[in-house]
Copies of this chain bind each other. A is one copy, B any other.
Amino acid sequence: MIVKMRRTASADDIQAVEQRLHELGYQTGKLVGTEITLIGVYGDISALPQGEIFEMAGVEELIPISRAYKRAAQKGDIINPIYTSFPIGNVVVGGSDLVVVAGPCSVESEVQIMESAQMVKEAGCSVLRGGVVKYRSSPYSGWEGLGADSVEDLRQALHYIVKAGKEFGLPTAVEILDHTMVSEYEDAGVDCLQIGEPNSRNTSLLNRLRDTSLPVIHKRGTSLDSEAYLLWVERMMTKGKENIILCERGVMSANRYTRNTLDLGSVAAFHYHLSHLPIAVDASHGTGVRDLVHPLTLASVFAGASVLLVEAHPNPLIAKSDGFQGLFPEQLSRLVTAAEATWKLRTELEPLYTPSAVLEKAYDQRVAEDRKRLFG
C-alpha cells in the first residue's frame, strides 16, 4: 500500500505517519518528490487500521498496490496457478470436464421446459437453464416470465424446471432478481443461482447471496472493466463464499452488428492472470445472433472458459422471449459435439502455453549481448 501525502503536508506530518506505521509493525519506504511524498508500506496489510492512518494530518489517499479483490484473485502464481472447482448439483465446474449449461431463455410452460430438458439432455449438456422471471427492456413486451406475478407463480415455475431437471438427471440454474426470494429458490431445489447483467451491481442481491450455499453464476455488467467487475464478485465472497462462476456475456462498444461485444480478452485475463474462479461465457447474449453462437462458443473454450451458457428452444420461432438468439435443437446438439472436441484439444495443447515468467529471467540475462549483436 502507498500512503500519498498532501502537497500541504508538513515534514512533521510525514514523520508522524511513518512512526505510527513502524509502531504497528510495518516496514516503510519513502519517495520524496518536489511536490508530494509517497510512503510505501510493505507486507500484508490486511490487519492495518487504514481508517486511522487515513485520518492522520496531511494524508491525502491510501493507494492499494496488491489487487483489491483478494478472494477472487488468482491463487498460486502465474506459472503454477491453482484453480477452484465445486459442484452444481452432481456436476463439477472448474474441473477436468467442460460444462454446458443450456435451455430456453424462459420457462414458458410445464410441457415446454420438460421438452427443453429432454433436448438439453439428448444434446449432451450437463445443466438445464431457464428463467422464471424475465423482465425485459420494455415494460410492454408482454411476457415477463411464468413466475413474475406472485410468489405462488414463482413457486410453480421453479417447480416446473426443477421437476424437468430431475426427470432427465440435470441440475438446474435459474436467474434470481430479488434478494427476498433466495430462500424460495433454495426451497424449490434449484441447484445454481444466476445474477443477470442488469443486476450485476445490485448490492442488496450481492450482499444476500453471501449467505447461500448454492453456487452462483455472476454475469458481468456491460459497462464494467474486468477488474472493476471482480470487485463486485468479491462482495459476495467477503464471508468466505467460494462457489462463484464468473460470466462474460458481452460489453458495450462501438459495435452495433452484434447485440453486445463479447470480450474474450477478459475471459483469458480472468483465467490466465486474475482469478481462480471458473469462467463461463454466454455467447447467446454475447452476440444476440443465433448463427454466431456456434463459432463464438468454440472460441470461448480456447479463450479460457470452462462453462458454456447456451440458449436453445424446442422451437425458437415461438419462444416468448429472445427467440432470435435461441438455437434450434439440431444446432445445440452439433454445437455440444464440437465444443467437446475443442475442449479435448485445449486440454492437449495446454502444455504449449508458456507464461513469460518462465522465460523472462533467461532473456533478461542475455540483454547486454543481444543488444550488442542486434544493434552493434
Chain A residues proximal to chain B, CB less than 8 Å: 6-8, 29-34, 38, 40, 42-43, 50-51, 55, 57-58, 65, 68-69, 78, 108-109, 111-112, 115, 135, 137-140, 142, 177-180, 198-199, 201-204, 207, 221-228, 231-232, 234-235, 238, 250-258, 260-266, 268-269, 271-274, 286-287, 289-292, 294-296, 298-304, 314-318, 328, 330-331, 334-335, 337-338, 341-342, 345-346, 348-349, 352-356, 359-361, 363-368, 370-371, 373-376
Contact = CB atoms under 8 A, between A and B. Distances in A.
Given A139-B235, A265-B255, A334 B315 contact: no
Contacts of A8: 360-361, 364-365
A222 B223 contact: yes
Contacts of A341: 345, 348-349
A248 to B, nearest CB: 10
Given A138-B234, A234-B139, A342-B345, A352 B374 contact: no
Q: Is the contact region of chain A dominated by helix, strand, or loop, or is it mixed?
A: helix
Contact of A330 (B7, B258, B359): B359
Give 9 closest A-B pairs by Cβ, nearest first: A198-B201, A223-B223, A298-B302, A299-B299, A334-B352, A135-B203, A268-B295, A253-B253, A299-B302
23 contacts: A8-B364, A30-B31, A112-B374, A137-B232, A139-B238, A140-B234, A178-B179, A251-B253, A252-B254, A255-B263, A258-B265, A258-B266, A262-B264, A268-B287, A271-B295, A291-B355, A299-B299, A299-B303, A302-B302, A317-B367, A331-B359, A334-B353, A341-B345
Contacts of A7: 360
Given A199-B201, A252-B254, 6 more contacts: A177-B204, A222-B223, A264-B296, A268-B287, A317-B360, A331-B359
Given A32-B29, A291-B272, A356 B331 contact: yes
